[in-house]
């Protein structure tokens, strides 16, 4: 179980805790999770053996190019189509 400190969590109206929407401390700041270029954010945790990475904007990026946004929305995999030869 992860212990939390006031610096890395926020308290919701229901009294539960969650991670902040962004962990970005870069200058200039990385794109937000709602930005079209959200995948350009820096990786803060990488687990290639499990097929995912956590970006500093709170997005979970999966190796199949799917995404899980901080608010729980899912972005379906969006690999580019390969041109037929």
Taking the CB of residue 57, how many other CB atoms lie within 10 A of it?
Answer: 24
What confidence tens digit (pLDDT) does each residue in 4-43 have?
433 444 444 544 444 455 567 778 888 899 999 999 999 9
Rg (CA), the chain: 15
| Residue showing tokens 């937000």 | 32
Tell me how far apart the alpha carbons of residues 56 and 85 are, in angstroms, rounded to a whole number.
39
Q: 41, exposed or middle or buried, with CB in 10 Å at 0-12, 13-18, 19+? A: buried
3-class SS of residue 65: coil
pTM: 0.66
Percent of the chain clearing pLDDT 70 (strictly above): 66
What residue spans define the domains of the chain? 21-85
């Amino acid at each position: 179980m992860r212990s939390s400190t006031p610096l890395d969590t926020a308290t919701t109206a229901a009294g539960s805790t969650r991670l902040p929407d962004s962990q970005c401390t870069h200058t200039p700041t990385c794109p937000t999770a709602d930005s079209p270029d959200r995948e350009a954010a820096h990786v803060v945790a990488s687990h290639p053996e499990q097929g995912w990475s956590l970006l500093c904007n709170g997005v979970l990026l999966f190796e199949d190019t799917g995404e899980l946004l901080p608010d729980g929305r899912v972005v379906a995999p969006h690999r580019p189509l390969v041109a037929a030869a």
